[in-house]
Amino acid sequence: MVTGGARRIGAAIARRFAGEGWHVVIHCHASLGKAEEMAATLPSAEAICCDLSDGGAAVAMIERQAARLDNWRALVNSASVFRADDVAALDPAIFSEAMQVNAGTPAAIAQAYLRGARSPAGRRVIQVTDQKLANPNPDFFSYTMSKHALGATVPMLAQAAAPADRVYGLAPGAILASYDQAPEEAEVSHRMNLLQRRTGADEVADAAWFLATGPLAGGQTLFVDSGQHLLSQPRDVMFLARGEGG
């Protein structure tokens, strides 16, 4: 299952697993038509819909899938909300939504998956975080806090799941145009990394495949960002590309 699998990085991850012959459950919230259309193009896939701001509904979704799937090898938590609020004035509504959708629900459904899913090959949880874990800045305050909270779940869940199962973090950098970016702005801002190149969504998908099938010990976070997390950037690259701050 890939949460947020109908769009953006989640869709790239879903396509990568489908291309390897896996059956993919594409989760979405408001994009059911898009998810069903995408599922129809893949060798073996289905679409399901759930609002991840409702933690109880999300756990119930996982329990239903665990009861019917005989070999559920991986859960990739890619869905997130990305809204702007200010480091000097936290927006309570944005904070509450971000912490639930980006941290609380991914943790809860990972727990539900590890409680009930079955796989003879061992189970894998991949929590998609953000390079901001290592390279924070004051922008998108609640979003960044929520991704730090999600990142903290990785080693804790991994310790509880070992040795049979593994839990990982996957931290992308600036990959696709976000928030209110125009394509030309993204072309500039997404090269603000050590390699001065755009990181592709396909690279993140390849990393997810490696984590789901490779030998890496659990509890680790893999950064896929062309070295962005090794920099110190005073603002989000979207604003740096506009000449605002830094």
How many C-alpha atoms does 173 have within 13 Å on its Cβ side?
Answer: 28
Q: Which two tokens stand for residue 244?
A: 């605002």
Q: Rounded distance, CA 219 to CA 28, Å?
A: 26
Residue 183, pLDDT score: 87
Say how far apart CA 29 and CA 44 lie, in whole Å: 20
Q: What is the pLDDT of residue 149?
A: 98
For residue 182, give every residue at least 6 positions away whose Cβ sits within 8 Å of its Cβ, in sequence order, or none. none
Three-state SS letters, 84-120: CCECCECCHHHHHHHHHHHHHHHHHHHHHHHHHCCCC
The structure tokens listed for 113 are 């998956």
Domains, the chain, ranges and CATH?
A: 2-177+199-226 (3.40.50.720)
pLDDT 10s digits, 151-179:
999 999 999 999 999 999 999 999 988 77
Q: Work out the angle at residue 7's Cα, subtended by the Cα atoms of residues 6 and 8, and round it to the nearest 5 degrees.
A: 145
Low-confidence residues of the chain, pLDDT below 70? 246
Amino acid at site 115: R
Q: Which residues are registered as beta bridge partners of 45? A: 24
Cβ neighbours of 224 (radius 10 Å)? 22
Give residue 245's pLDDT.
74
pLDDT in tens, 196-212: 999 999 999 999 999 99
- Residues of the chain by 3-state class (helix, strand, coil), percent to 5: 45, 15, 40
Residue 181 has a pLDDT of 83
Q: What pLDDT does residue 246 have?
A: 58
Identity at 168, one-letter amino acid code: Y
Instruction: Give the three-class secondary structure for 170.
Output: strand
